[in-house]
């Protein structure tokens, strides 16, 4: 059967192998010498039928062609055994073995094989040989299958053993690693069960807290609660044991067995069992006592003043912020903001060392008399201290504390052999906590301290919202003045001056008004003082003067027959300004106004006590032909003798004297006497007298009786726009007789 061997060889050459690469050698190792040509099946035909029968019965890793080729080899051996001269049934046995080797391991494979052989071998060779070969094949198959099964079972058992022991080794290794880590770790490790019973701790934990392992095992986690534990940590712990969180970190103090405190950094983790249920809590404990002390020290340094050891500004604000954050709805807080009076001078005269010593003494006094629970005394700056009252009972309590603080500061201090006494000023603010912020509170305290200083020092002032609001408005007004002047928000109104003798209008006083965009029309009382403080009065006054002169010139042009004096106020600062004379003369020139029609009103203080340049200014103005009146006469310090030498033409009596003449039945006799005397005096000096604030007919009548020359007031006319004056002038032109 040359074709069989060549096929076998071809398979070997193509490298195509059976399941374990050996199968191909089975037929090759025992080549059959020759095959007798006989009728019946050839190996190919038998193999084809055989392959058809057993394909798919078992899993073999061969293509159909390979399978046929493999079976052709086996078929050839069977056929030659059936027809050989000497019969060897063992060939059948070997073919059975070869089938199993090719992995025909399913019983159906044997079954189908025997059936095919029964069909195909029935006519081949001696009739007894085929059954003998078949039974030998069955025996060989059974034997090989049993061997294979046992071998595979052994293999899988060995593999399972191996796998198991490897898993165990791995587990042991990891356990051993854990043991090594546990025992040798420089940080403490403690394991507790879910109920909090301590299960195991390592040596480091024992060393850290001073208990033995056995002592630990008698303890539960709860026994390590410490009063300084951060709030919430035990809630976190319980959440962990309920399985709601996996781990958390915290810093926590412990009492050692000997009572000392150990500060630790903890990492707490939950260990679950295989079903995910919380089982253990593992805690890693690091001793951070040193670090904690260092931090505490650093924190203390960061939050305290090195000189006095009092809490510093940072701590004060931290605490204040905390109190405001945590405040209930009805909680109140208060601060006393204290500043040592004249400290700068003490420092400058006695030196910084003495200054520091004084501050230290003040700090001690304040601390010992005021510091206490809920009352924090802090040093917030050079000579500034604050008392923070965390839960104020009301302004009275704060005032009491402020007085105590003032008393503490006033205690005499031994300083370089001298006993010296200092005082302080205190700004007190007290309010509902939820209505304020730290910044607001301290701003108010600063303002109030300022009040106490301004009111004369060595005292306390209590914050007053109205006063503050007024100051704020004042400030805002003052700040808005320059822009208002630029934008033309000012205007001039005129109030008639009436000759008492015949009640005709002989002049007007120019009065400035501010048409404020938000506050409406503001009178001079709201802003003149401010503009004097800021110096804006100089340009403002000049503008008013120009405006009034322009207006006066216009009237003059319109009613050339009427003699009208226009009176304009000059502020002290204007008089002090050396260019005032030039300016007035320039304005007169520009407007063409007769100087005799212009009267400048100066306050008593601007005129009296003038010497040097202002006096010269006054003379220069008089020389221009301008009239000069003294406003508000009688309110200041008046050197009557001096008045004589001044170039003054007129006095305006202060409204307060005139007011005394107002009551309809009986005027104030003193006021009446004063007014009478003043009028007499003025007339002696050849000065005319104008009464301001004339509000009633009786007043006017009394003034006339006393000889007063001119009057001004609501009784005659309110200040008004130029048109009002125009109307008056017009009526006096038509009816020269008294019109008002």
Q: Which residues of 536-562 are buried (b: 16+ CB within 10 A; e: fewer)?
A: bbbebbbebbbbbbebbbebbeeeeee
Give the tokens for residue 542. 């000049």
Provide the minimum distance between the beta carbon of 104 and other proteins in the complex, in angstroms, as a whole number. Answer: 8
Provide the minimum distance between the beta carbon of 292 and other proteins in the complex, in angstroms, as a whole number. Answer: 31
Q: Which secondary-structure segment (H or E) carries 40?
A: none
* Residue nearer to other proteins on the CB measure, 52 or 683: 52
* Residue nearer to other proteins on the CB measure, 52 or 499: 52
HSE, side-chain direction, 13 A CA sphere, residue 467: 10
* Residue nearer to other proteins on the CB measure, 48 or 704: 48
411 contact partners, CB below 8 Å, separation of at least 6: 365, 421
Provide the minimum distance between the beta carbon of 93 and other proteins in the complex, in angstroms, as a whole number. Answer: 21
* Residue nearer to other proteins on the CB measure, 66 or 493: 66
CB atoms within 10 A of CB 201: 25
Contact 89, 132 (CB under 8 A): yes
Query: In angstroms, rounded to a whole number, what is the distance separating the alpha carbons of residues 175 and 568?
Result: 105
Provide the minimum distance between the beta carbon of 149 and other proteins in the complex, in angstroms, as a whole number. Answer: 4
Give the tokens for residue 112. 């189908």
Report the largest interatomic distance among the alpha carbons of the chain, rounded to a whole angstrom: 184
Kindly state the DSSP code that residue 222 receives in the 8-state scheme. G
* Residue nearer to other proteins on the CB measure, 167 or 640: 167
320, burial (CB in 10 Å: exposed 0-12, middle 13-18, buried 19+):
buried
Provide the minimum distance between the beta carbon of 313 and other proteins in the complex, in angstroms, as a whole number. Answer: 51
Contact 435, 340 (CB under 8 A): no
* Residue nearer to other proteins on the CB measure, 156 or 582: 156
611 contact partners, CB below 8 Å, separation of at least 6: none
Kindly state the DSSP code that residue 229 receives in the 8-state scheme. P
Provide the minimum distance between the beta carbon of 60 and other proteins in the complex, in angstroms, as a whole number. Answer: 6
Three-state DSSP class for residue 388: strand
Query: What's the N-to-C CA distance of the chain in angstroms?
Result: 161
Contact 606, 630 (CB under 8 A): no
- The DSSP annotation for 65-104 comes to HHHHHHHHHHHHHHHHHHHSSS--THHHHHHHHHHHHTT-
* Residue nearer to other proteins on the CB measure, 46 or 444: 46
* Residue nearer to other proteins on the CB measure, 164 or 300: 164
* Residue nearer to other proteins on the CB measure, 18 or 188: 18
Provide the minimum distance between the beta carbon of 18 and other proteins in the complex, in angstroms, as a whole number. Answer: 8
Provide the minimum distance between the beta carbon of 306 and other proteins in the complex, in angstroms, as a whole number. Answer: 49
Provide the phi-psi class of 210: left if phi over 0, else alpha when psi is between -120 and 50, else beta. Answer: left
Three-state DSSP class for residue 556: helix
* Residue nearer to other proteins on the CB measure, 154 or 396: 154
HSE, side-chain direction, 13 A CA sphere, residue 33: 5
Provide the minimum distance between the beta carbon of 373 and other proteins in the complex, in angstroms, as a whole number. Answer: 54
* Residue nearer to other proteins on the CB measure, 166 or 455: 166
* Residue nearer to other proteins on the CB measure, 59 or 475: 59
Query: In angstroms, rounded to a whole number, what is the distance separating the alpha carbons of residues 42 and 72?
Result: 9
Provide the minimum distance between the beta carbon of 54 and other proteins in the complex, in angstroms, as a whole number. Answer: 12
Query: In angstroms, rounded to a whole number, what is the distance separating the alpha carbons of residues 83 and 73?
Result: 16
Provide the minimum distance between the beta carbon of 165 and other proteins in the complex, in angstroms, as a whole number. Answer: 9
Provide the minimum distance between the beta carbon of 20 and other proteins in the complex, in angstroms, as a whole number. Answer: 7
Which positions touch other proteins (CB under 8 A)?
Answer: 15-17, 19-21, 55-56, 58-65, 103, 105-106, 148-149, 152-153, 155-156, 158-160, 162-164, 166-168, 170-171, 174
């Amino acid at each position: 059967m040359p074709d069989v061997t060549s096929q076998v060889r071809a398979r070997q050459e193509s490298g195509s192998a059976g399941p374990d690469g050996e199968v191909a050698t089975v037929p090759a190792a025992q080549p059959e010498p020759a095959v007798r040509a006989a009728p019946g099946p050839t190996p190919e035909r038998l193999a084809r039928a055989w392959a058809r029968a057993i394909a798919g019965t078992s899993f073999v890793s061969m293509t159909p062609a390979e399978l046929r080729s493999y079976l052709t080899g086996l078929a050839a051996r069977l056929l030659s055994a059936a027809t050989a001269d000497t019969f060897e049934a063992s060939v059948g046995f070997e073919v059975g073995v070869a089938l199993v080797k090719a992995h025909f391991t399913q019983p159906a494979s044997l079954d189908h094989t025997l059936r095919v052989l029964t069909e195909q071998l029935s006519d081949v060779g001696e009739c007894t040989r085929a059954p003998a070969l078949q039974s030998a094949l069955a025996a060989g198959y059974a034997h090989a299958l049993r061997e294979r099964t046992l071998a595979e079972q052994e293999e899988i058992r060995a593999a399972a053993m191996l796998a198991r022991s490897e898993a165990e080794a791995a587990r042991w290794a990891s356990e051993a690693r854990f043991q090594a880590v546990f025992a040798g770790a420089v940080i403490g490790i403690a394991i507790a069960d879910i109920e909090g019973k301590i299960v195991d701790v390592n040596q480091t934990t024992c060393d850290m807290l001073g208990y033995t392992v056995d002592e630990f095992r008698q303890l539960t986690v709860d026994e390590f609660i410490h009063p300084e534990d951060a709030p919430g940590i035990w809630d976190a712990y319980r959440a962990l044991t309920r399985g709601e969180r996996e781990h958390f970190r915290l810093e926590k103090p412990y009492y050692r067995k000997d009572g000392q405190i150990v500060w630790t950094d903890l990492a707490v983790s939950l260990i679950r069992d295989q079903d995910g249920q919380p089982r253990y809590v593992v805690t890693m404990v690091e001793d951070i006592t040193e670090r904690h002390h260092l931090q505490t020290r650093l924190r203390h340094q960061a939050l305290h003043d090195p000189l006095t050891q009092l809490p510093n500004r940072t701590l004060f604000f931290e605490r204040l912020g905390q109190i405001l954050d945590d405040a209930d709805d009805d909680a109140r807080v208060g601060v006393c903001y204290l500043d040592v009076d004249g400290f700068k001078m003490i420092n400058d005269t006695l030196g910084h060392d003495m200054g520091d010593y004084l501050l230290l003494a003040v700090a001690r006094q304040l601390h010992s008399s005021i510091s206490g629970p809920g009352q924090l005394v802090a040093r917030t700056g050079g000579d500034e201290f604050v008392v923070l009252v965390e839960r104020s009972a009301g302004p009275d309590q704060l005032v009491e504390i402020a007085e105590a603080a003032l008393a503490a500061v006033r205690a005499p201090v031994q300083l370089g052999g001298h006993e010296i006494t200092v005082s302080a000023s205190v700004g007190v603010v007290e309010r509902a906590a939820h209505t304020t912020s730290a910044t607001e509170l301290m701003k108010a305290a600063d303002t109030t301290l300022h009040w106490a200083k301004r009111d004369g020092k060595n005292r306390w002032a209590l914050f007053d919202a109205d006063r503050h609001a007024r100051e704020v408005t004042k400030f805002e007004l003052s700040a808005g003045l320059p822009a208002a002047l630029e934008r033309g928000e000012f205007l001039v109104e005129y109030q008639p001056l009436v000759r008492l003798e015949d009640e005709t209008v002989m002049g007007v006083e120019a009065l400035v008004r501010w048409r404020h965009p938000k506050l409406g029309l503001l009178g001079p009382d709201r802003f003149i003082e401010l503009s004097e403080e800021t110096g804006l009065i100089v340009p403002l006054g000049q503008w008013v003067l120009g405006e009034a002169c322009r207006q006066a010139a216009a009237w003059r042009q319109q009613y050339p027959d009427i003699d009208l004096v226009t009176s304009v106020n000059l502020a002290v600062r204007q008089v002090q300004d050396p260019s005032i004379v030039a300016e007035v003369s320039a304005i007169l020139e520009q407007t063409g106004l007769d100087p005799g029609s212009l009267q400048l009103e100066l306050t008593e203080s601007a005129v009296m006590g003038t010497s040097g340049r202002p006096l010269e200014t006054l003379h220069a103005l008089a020389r221009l032909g301008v009239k000069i009146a003294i406003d508000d006469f009688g309110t200041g310090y008046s050197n009557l003798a001096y008045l004589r030498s001044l170039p003054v033409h007129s006095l305006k009596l202060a409204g307060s004297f005139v007011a005394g003449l107002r009551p309809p039945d009986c005027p104030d006799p003193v006021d009446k006497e004063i007014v009478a005397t003043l009028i007499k005096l003025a007339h002696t000096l050849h000065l005319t007298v104008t009464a301001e604030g004339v509000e009633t007919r009786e007043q006017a009548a009394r003034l006339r009786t006393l000889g007063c020359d001119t009057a001004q007031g609501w009784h005659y006319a309110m200040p008004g726009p130029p048109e009002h004056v125009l109307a008056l002038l017009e009526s006096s032109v038509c009816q020269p007789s008294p019109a008002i």
